[in-house]
């Protein structure tokens, strides 16, 4: 079964064709990020206008790369939530009209859950194994930080989430405080790699006895540190980035492992933009080996917003109709 996926929740316009919920035949992503960078964050009005310009050519390209014509598509999947309303509407309206035209069902997908589903996708027909369920799933994106228990696709049970800033949002805000530009995650990741924090430490809130997170405190601690020491030298900026990243990675790893222990899961799935973070990937890989846990993190393009994960998860929703 070939599903055409469409994802327009934020600044990426993406369309993909995925076969049987697993094999990526195409996954085209166009980003308007550059148009937002000078404002230090996403401007919803610019994002939705760019979605409108890009959606038709992106879908055309996804179909032609997959070597599919309209008769080869058995369902259309679209991100229904969460996201910027103006951007979502472009994708939803397009998908609805498209599904109507080819006389096939329209499946609405939650894009946060789909971030975890990215771990089940492959371009290679010979990839032997998919992640085993039950699993714990950690979504760390620009807008969400959530922990799920997944016993069976497509059922996700929410265990906890951030009470304030998302992990990616904290990276972006700290980068802004440190004058590092937008988006902050990749810059902090690079800078932290070439520095150590020496004696500087920050600590993200524990939120004891819950699987919830809170990142606004650690962000404010960085702000106060920056104000106190201002102007920071290049080296001090690197040390601050390193110490901040350590605090975020530490709490994400500890809570994810605690959830695996509590719910007796041998599989941990990670997804969302912050899953691209090299320190997080490294820390999880080490813990996985130590604890004999199967840790799955998608290749970097599949960590970010993309339509393949939407089409993939939709396959299980259709089967469950």
H helix or E strand, kind and range, residue 189: helix 184-193
Torsion of the alpha carbons at 264, 265, 266 and 272, rounded to the nearest 10: -150
- Give the residue from 14, 15, 26, 16 showing the smallest Cα distance to 65: 26
Interface with ligand KG4, residue 91, by CB under 6 A = no
User: How does strand 155-161 pair with strand 145-152?
Assistant: antiparallel
311 binds, among Zn ion, ligand KG4, none (CB under 5 to 8 A by kind): none
184 binds, among ligand KG4, Zn ion, none (CB under 5 to 8 A by kind): ligand KG4
Of positions 274, 293, 295, 310, contacts ligand KG4 by CB under 6 A: 274
Cβ proximity to Zn ion: between 59 and 307 the closer is 307
CA–CA gap between residue 262 and residue 259 (Å, rounded): 5
Residues 151-180 that bind ligand KG4 (CB under 6 A): 168, 171-172
Cβ proximity to ligand KG4: between 75 and 309 the closer is 309
Helical pair 234-262 and 184-193, crossing angle rounded to 10 deg: 100
Interface with ligand KG4, residue 272, by CB under 6 A = yes
CA–CA gap between residue 162 and residue 207 (Å, rounded): 10
Interface with ligand KG4, residue 184, by CB under 6 A = yes
**Shortest distance in whole angstroms from residue 306 CB to ligand KG4:** 9
Interface with Zn ion, residue 141, by CB under 5 A = yes
- Give the residue from 139, 82, 132, 141 showing the smallest Cα distance to 111: 82
Which residues contact residue 71 at a Cβ distance below 8 angstroms, ignoring those fewer than 6 apart?
Answer: 102
Interface with ligand KG4, residue 304, by CB under 6 A = yes
Of positions 137, 142, 154, 312, contacts ligand KG4 by CB under 6 A: 142
From residue 223, alpha-carbon distances to 128, 179, 196, 240 in Å are: 47, 11, 19, 10
Interface with Zn ion, residue 169, by CB under 5 A = no
Which residues contact residue 53 at a Cβ distance below 8 angstroms, ignoring those fewer than 6 apart?
Answer: none
CA–CA gap between residue 226 and residue 286 (Å, rounded): 32
CA–CA gap between residue 86 and residue 97 (Å, rounded): 17
274 binds, among ligand KG4, Zn ion, none (CB under 5 to 8 A by kind): ligand KG4
Residues binding ligand KG4: number (CB under 6 A): 19
Cβ proximity to Zn ion: between 145 and 237 the closer is 145
**Shortest distance in whole angstroms from residue 149 CB to ligand KG4:** 21
Only segment of 152-160, 213-221, 255-263, 266-274 that touches ligand KG4 (CB under 6 A)? 266-274
Helices assigned H by DSSP within 12-110: 33-37, 44-65, 85-102
Interface with Zn ion, residue 12, by CB under 5 A = no
Cβ proximity to ligand KG4: between 2 and 142 the closer is 142
Residues 1-40 that bind ligand KG4 (CB under 6 A): 10
- Residue ranges that bind ligand KG4, judged by CB under 6 A: 10, 141-143, 168, 171-172, 183-186, 189, 272-274, 276-277, 304-305
């Amino acid at each position: 079964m070939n599903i055409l996926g469409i994802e327009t929740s934020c600044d990426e316009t993406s369309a993909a064709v995925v076969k049987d919920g697993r094999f990526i035949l195409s996954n085209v992503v166009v980003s308007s990020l550059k148009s937002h960078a000078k404002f230090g964050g996403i401007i919803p009005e610019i994002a939705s206008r760019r979605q409108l310009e890009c959606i038709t050519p992106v879908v055309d390209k996804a179909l032609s790369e997959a070597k599919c014509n309209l008769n080869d598509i058995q369902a259309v999947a679209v991100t229904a939530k969460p996201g910027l309303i103006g951007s979502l509407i472009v994708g939803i309206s397009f998908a609805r009209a498209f599904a109507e035209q080819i006389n096939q069902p329209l499946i609405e997908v939650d894009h946060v859950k789909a971030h975890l589903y990215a771990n089940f996708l492959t371009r290679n027909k010979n990839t032997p194994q998919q992640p085993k369920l039950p699993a714990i799933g950690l979504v760390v994106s620009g807008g969400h930080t959530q922990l799920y228990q997944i016993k069976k696709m497509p059922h996700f049970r929410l265990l906890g989430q951030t009470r304030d800033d998302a992990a990616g949002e904290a990276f972006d805000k700290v980068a802004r405080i440190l004058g590092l530009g937008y988006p902050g995650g990749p810059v902090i990741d690079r800078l932290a790699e070439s520095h150590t924090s020496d004696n500087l430490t920050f600590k993200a809130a524990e939120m004891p006895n819950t699987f919830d997170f809170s990142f606004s405190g650690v962000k404010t601690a960085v702000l106060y540190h920056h104000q106190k020491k201002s102007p920071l030298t290049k080296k001090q900026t690197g040390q601050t980035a390193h110490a901040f990243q350590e605090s975020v990675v530490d709490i994400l790893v500890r809570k994810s492992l605690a959830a695996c222990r509590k719910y007796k899961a041998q599989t941990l799935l990670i997804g969302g933009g912050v899953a691209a973070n090299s320190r997080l990937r490294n820390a999880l890989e080490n813990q996985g080996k130590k604890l004999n846990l199967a840790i799955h993190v998608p290749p970097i393009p599949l960590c970010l917003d993309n339509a393949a994960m939407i089409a993939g998860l939709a396959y299980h929703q259709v089967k469950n109709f």
